[in-house]
Structure 1
Amino acid sequence: MSIAPEPSTSRGDITLQPGYFTSSLYVEPLREDLKTLTKLFSEQYEAAERPFELFKRLWTEHGWCWLHLRVYDGRGRQTFLRITERVFIERLASTEPLLDRLVALFALYTFHNSQPSSSAPPIYVAPNIAIPIDTYEEMVSLPATVTEPHLLRLRPYAVHVLTTLLDAHVLEILPHSSLRAQNPSILPREVFVVEGQETPTVLQPEGAVDEEGISPSKKKPKKKKGRPSKRDKARKAKDALASLEKYVDKNTVYLIDETDPMSNTEPESTHVVLGQAPHSSLHNYLARKNDLLAAVSHDGAGVAGSSDATQRQGALQRANEAVLERLRQIDAMAAEKGLEVGGEGGEKTGLKRVERAVDELRQCNGSSGILGLLEGAGLGTSR
């Protein structure tokens, strides 16, 4: 049925174009609303004495009864009715959960039969419901599939709804869905893209594959030929700026004035590397190391003190041996993978020097082992 030409809208009126109802701006929210309606029905179904009355109450409470007032002009309304009924029909497929199929059947029946029959001025009313033949067969056999005990109460309602639709001859049978006879063949046809975001891949039917047998959704997008567009340049610049801001925030430290810690002035910020003074770090390391070595070498007084010192010295030697063994394991693992290893740094660096430092500690010549590397341990010049 074709739509007769209509006059343009008066000044100030808003008209939704047919392309809006085939786009993701309408199709995706409608699918989500239908899922919400199904979820609410499933949650309250067990306690309801009359399930279809529960469905009608939910349909009214959540605004579905006002859906027909969304558009009035003939061209937009024709697409609106066809796409809305098609979304309901999608949920009638046998691959969907049984309760979801029943709710979709109730929604299709209620939406089609609640079209305004009289209005001034008159508005377009869809006389038929277009449905692919394979989905039609699955819909007709739906009552026979309701065998679960907790859903048996819904079988009479499903039979009544199907009988009403069939007796009214409102179902327009289309070819098999695999032939893609519906227009548009894929929903949504137009995908809304937010400025600055990646353009989504072209939508394909579920299970579609290319000539190589690979699903288009799993293939990597091909790089565009030619110079990048202004949009691509702007997107890359925004991504680079966002990454830089995250890096700066993650690695920023604030310098506190040590001479006046209680100062109310805002502390200066800098990179974490610049915020760590090397001389101060070295001084702290040497102080802590000297305290440790002094505690280990302190003999104390009496036999008990000598025994404790021997135990502390033994603990220091075991720690050196453990570190050396771990370094050897790392060296062997790196060599297996062809990476640069510690034994390739010459006699004065790397694993060989650590081995000599640990050997000096074994000889009990006053060396501190690995802790003395900074003072020349392993070079024959340790103190």
Structure 2
Amino acid sequence: MSTAPAPSVTRGEITLQPSYFTSSLYVNPLREDISLLIQIFAEQYLQSDKSQPFSLFKKIWREQGWVWLHFKVFDGRSREKFISVTSRLFTERIIETEDTLVRVVALFGLYTFFLSQPASTLPPVHGVKHIPMPMDIFQVMLSLPDALTEPHMSPLRPYATFVLSKLLDAQVFHILPESSLRPHNPATLPREFFVRDDADAASVMATSEQSDAAGPSTKPPPKKKGRPSKRDKAKKAKDALAVLDKWLEKNTFTYPVPPTADPEEAQIPKKTHALIANPPVTTHSNYAVQKTALLEQLTSPCTADVGIPALARANEAVLARLKRIDEMAAEQGLEVGGEGGDMTGLVRVEKAVEELRNGKSKGGILNLLEGAGSTE
């Protein structure tokens, strides 16, 4: 992501801007790391004698490299957002719907991360003194020790109580309104979604939603209003070209060159559309049957007074619509249907409609497959 100028950065030094820590580049991998931390602790705790659960947690914390996390960024502005977002991602695993063991490990992680901020460094490193926490999650966290009543969970109870007492004594919690009111800023994480130029935006959004399963559900940001940027136009054109290439590759037919052809031309493969090489006979026959039945119904003596004018209006409406499309394309400098001569679509439709007006044809544009509009 791009970097923004910050007064706390010296000349020539590059730093991560705060928006990086609210983006999918940081939020989604950190959620996966937290889930991995919880999974490893749960597996090793259930297999151990359960006598020293917090010592086991600190051992895993060191082995997984969490002790180096505070050295990720040193700029004051970025560090403020880094600590608040990381604490928030631990906090979201303490909600009531999570398993009890998951909530305990998330509490251990929040306690260890927040209280391990470097305090005596030279030069000093910016620190955060409070953890914003919605009121409902705060109440659930306070009741966590009382929920550790099962035999295999009871060894965790004194450690959870001690961790809570240390956090409460330090007065680190900044109580927010209930989480249903979305009191955090930003309200949802991640706020920014990183999309590679060669990636499909829809698939990236879907992946981001799946990675958010452990935390509050988030929706992709709404589509930007206003004119699309040059980058959006270029990406849209590239996607459309890729789709067209796939369609052409799928529908191109290479037919053999006749033996009597020129030897030089025989070396050039002859290609055409699959529908020209293999006409859809069945589809054409079904269309012809249904069209005949429709015309008989419209022109029968019982319904001719209504059917024939309706058929004429439909022909005129289609012709008017094609002319309007032709005019709009010409205004934008695009190739249009009237520039290719008598055999182009618009000219043939005009002739077919004219034939219907003069009574030379019963179907007008419905007879285009039978050659309507191709002769005077």
* Range of TM-score over shorter length: 0.5 to 0.7
- What's 1:21 paired with? 21
Counterpart position of 2:306: none
Question: Helix, strand or coil for the counterpart of 2:94?
Answer: coil
In structure 2, give the amino acid aligned to 1:34. I
Give CA deviations for 1:96-118 in whole Å, capped at 9, x if unaligned. 22222111101001101211121
Counterpart of 1:340, as a letter, is Q
- Structure of greater Rg: 1
**Is the contact between residue 134 and residue 177 of structure 1 (CA under 8 Å) also seen in structure 2?**
yes
**CA contact under 8 A between 2:8 and 2:75: conserved in structure 1?**
no
Q: Matches of 2:16 and 2:225 in 1, distance apart?
A: 34
Equivalent in 101, 105, 110 of residue 103 of structure 2: 101
In the aligned structure 1, how far is the partner of 2:246 from the partner of 2:78?
A: 46
User: What is aligned with 1:157?
Assistant: 159
Residue deviations 1:222-255, cap 9 Å, x none? 8967x66544443332222222222233345667
CA distance in 2, matches of 1:28, 1:194: 16
Match of 1:47?
47
Q: Aligned equivalents of 1:206 and 1:21: distance in 2?
A: 17
Residue 340 (str. 1) matches residue 290 (str. 2): yes
Q: Relative to 1, partners in 2 of residues 1:62 and 1:254: Cα closer, same or farther, differing over 3 Å?
A: farther
CA distance in 2, matches of 1:124, 1:244: 53
How far apart in 2 are the matches of 1:143 and 1:18? 35
Show structure 2 runs of 5+ residues with no match. 1-5, 210-214, 260-265, 280-285, 297-376
Matched, 1:117 2:119: yes
Q: Residue 62 of structure 1 aligns with which residue?
A: 64
* Contact 2:252 2:274 survives alignment (8 Å): no
Q: CA offset at residue 131 of structure 1?
A: 1.6
Question: Aligned partners of 2:224 and 2:177: how far apart in 1?
Answer: 38
* TM-score, length-scaled by structure 1: 0.57
Query: What is the TM-score normalised by the length of structure 2?
Result: 0.58
How has the CA–CA distance of structure 1 residues 258 and 26 changed in structure 2, closer, same or farther, with 3 Å as cutoff? same
**CA distances 1:113-161 after superposition (whole Å, capped 9, x unpaired):** 2111211111122223222221111001012122344333322321221
Distance of 2:224 and 2:116 partners within structure 1: 50
Counting only pairs closer than 5 Å after superposition, residues 139-178 of structure 1 correspond to structure 2 as 139-178=141-180
> Which residue identity lines up with residue 103 of structure 1 in the other structure?
V
Q: Distance in 2 between matches of 1:56 and 1:266?
A: 72
Give the counterpart letter for 1:44 in structure 2: Q
Task: List runs of 5+ in structure 1 lacking aligned partners.
Answer: 1-5, 209-215, 260-264, 279-333, 347-383
Give the whole-Å Cα distance in 2 for the aligned partners of 1:113 and 1:228: 46
Q: In structure 2, how many angstroms separate the alpha carbons of the residues matched to 1:31 and 1:40?
A: 14
Alignment RMSD (CA, Å): 4.2
Matching residue's letter, 1:27 = V
Contact in 2 for aligned 1:252/1:269 (Cα 8 Å): no
C-alpha distance in 2 between matches for 1:55 and 1:130 = 24
% identity of equivalent residues: 50
CA 1:106–1:273: 2 relative to 1, 3 Å: same
The answer (yes or no) to whether the contact 1:48–1:54 under 8 Å persists in 2 is: no
- Secondary structure at the residue paired with 1:150? coil
What SS does structure 2 have at the residue aligned with 1:172?
A: strand
1:153–1:271 CA distance, 2 compared to 1 (3 A): farther
Name the amino acid aligned to 2:118.
Answer: P
**Aligned partner (choices 134, 137, 147) of residue 135 of structure 1:** 137
CA deviation map 1:69-104 (0-9, x unaligned)? 111122221221112111111111112222221111
Work out which structure has the larger RCO, using CA pairs closer than 8 Å and 6 or more positions apart in sequence: 2
Aligned residue pairs total 267
> Which of 66, 71, 74 is residue 72 of structure 1 equivalent to?
74
For residues 295 and 182 of structure 2, the distance between their equivalents in structure 1, rounded to whole angstroms, comes to 69
Distance 1:153 1:269, change over 3 A: farther
* 2:234 corresponds to: 234
In 2: Cα distance, 1:106 partner to 1:267 partner? 71
- Supply the AA of the counterpart residue of 2:166: T
Q: How does 1:239-278 map to 2 (within 5 A)?
A: 239-252=239-252, 268=269, 270=271, 273=274
| Compared CA separation, residues 119 and 222, structure 1 to 2 (3 A) | closer
